[in-house]
Amino acid sequence: MVGTPKKHFLAFLLLLSFCSLLILLYSPHPNPISTQTFTLNSHSIPTTPAFSLTIKVLTFNRLNSLTRCLTSLSNAHYLPDHPVHLHIFIDHFPNQSQYYIAPKPQDSLGILRFIDGFEWKWGQKIVHYRTTNVGLQAQWLEAWWPTSDDEFAFVVEDDLELSPLFFKYLRALILNYYYNASNFSPFVYGASLQRPRFVPGRQGNKMLLDSTSGLFLYQLVGTWGQLLFPKPWKEFRLWYDDHKAKDIKPFLDGMVTTGWYKKMGERIWTPWFIKFIHSRGYFNIYTKFLDEKSLSVSHRDVGVNYGKTAGPDSQLLGVNSLDNNFLEMKSLSTMKWYDFCFREVVPGRVVRNLNDLGSILPSVQTKQTVLLVSLFGGTSCD
């Protein structure tokens, strides 16, 4: 026999109270916030760890875009004692029966000839020319399976242009936020070099940032130049396989990505990754530079994501256009953390629902970072 709603509500409150008590009893004692900053030289790490970085370039039929992209990568500043490998994935032209682009074998031939003649002197150059058209989702998901916890991937779509400083900045991020044990969080899955600009919650509102520059953490993946850490990416790939096998769709209430998936289906991969990040409470490192500059610029050329070319989304950060905060690598505990709705959150404080979040923020601004756990299947930015 079904109990009365009042009894169910009281039982639910009792369960939540008990869980909250357990969390308080077993939460670590907060430590004072560190004001330490880190530089690109990473003096806080006694011995520089040996790790590998591979640039994964995803291309299809845009020779001019690819030429611009690879030229910018080749002109970047690398270190003579740190090899950087280049792995280029060329999607095959579609058959006559495939969806939206007429087959043009000459496009693939032009791209192959260009890549064959392209010199990469910073490490290995590996080319993967597919036998069938797999689309953007498979291009991303099949680009990488880490072979160790010391292997990193930087994924670049072919209409991107990179700053000469991008590698040194990525290296500093890896050293300071992955290998520095006192400044590491398992809930950070990587870093994006694109200009932070988009909020997927509700109708995809424009991001509002203050006028200062610096690093912060934000849950959204940045597909215009994304550094991926090995463990979270492996976890995502297995999660993806499990959900696909169970025919679970990547829907999240209140997220614009649900509409994207309903319209484009398996042609895109971001709704899957966003749902995974939402379920785990993971975060991505972003950097805001002054004057809408960035280390990775998308020219938003015509393709899967754009029906016509939209032009560059930001200005490329040059060697002579740095602001004073470029060299600073602050402690995670001093950085701001934002959810998918771009509301500031305090990691490590557990709340029962989104309505509780606003009321606890003022009292926990100086607390140690903790994990936010979602008890619901969707998100709301009201």
Q: Is residue 381 in some structural domain?
A: no
Q: How many domains does one find in the chain?
A: 1
pLDDT of residue 344: 87
Q: Is residue 13 in some structural domain?
A: no
For residue 116, pLDDT over 80 is answered with: yes
Question: How far, in whole angstroms, is CA 130 from its chain's centroid?
Answer: 25
What's the maximum distance between 2 C-alpha atoms anywhere in the chain? 75
pLDDT of residue 206: 66
Tell me which DSSP letter residue 255 carries. B
**Cα–Cα distance for residue pair 140/58, rounded to 1 Å:** 8
Average pLDDT, rounded, for the chain: 80
**Cα–Cα distance for residue pair 198/176, rounded to 1 Å:** 26
| pLDDT tens by residue, 249-268 | 999 988 989 998 999 999 89
The Cα angle at residue 185 between residues 184 and 190, in degrees rounded to 5: 95
Of 173-187, 342-356, 357-371, the poorest mean pLDDT is in 357-371
Q: Is residue 21 in some structural domain?
A: no
Q: Is residue 374 in some structural domain?
A: no
CATH number for the domain harbouring residue 243: 3.90.550.10
209 vs 325 pLDDT, higher one: 209
Among candidates 289, 84, 90, 67, which has minimal Cα distance to 159?
A: 67
Of 45-59, 223-237, 367-381, the poorest mean pLDDT is in 367-381
Percent share of the chain, pLDDT over 70: 69
Q: Is residue 370 in some structural domain?
A: no
The Cα angle at residue 306 between residues 300 and 310, in degrees rounded to 5: 45
Beta partners for residue 53, in sequence order: 84, 152
| Mean pLDDT for the stretch of residues 219-224 | 93
Full residue range of the structural domain in which residue 237 is found: 31-364
| pLDDT tens by residue, 21-57 | 344 333 333 333 333 344 544 445 667 788 999 999 9
Q: Is residue 9 in some structural domain?
A: no
Q: Is residue 227 in some structural domain?
A: yes
Q: How far apart are the first and last CA of the chain?
A: 37
Q: Is residue 375 in some structural domain?
A: no
pLDDT band at 343 (very low <50, low <70, confident <90, very high): confident
| Mean pLDDT for the stretch of residues 147-172 | 96
pLDDT band at 350 (very low <50, low <70, confident <90, very high): very low
pLDDT of residue 104: 66
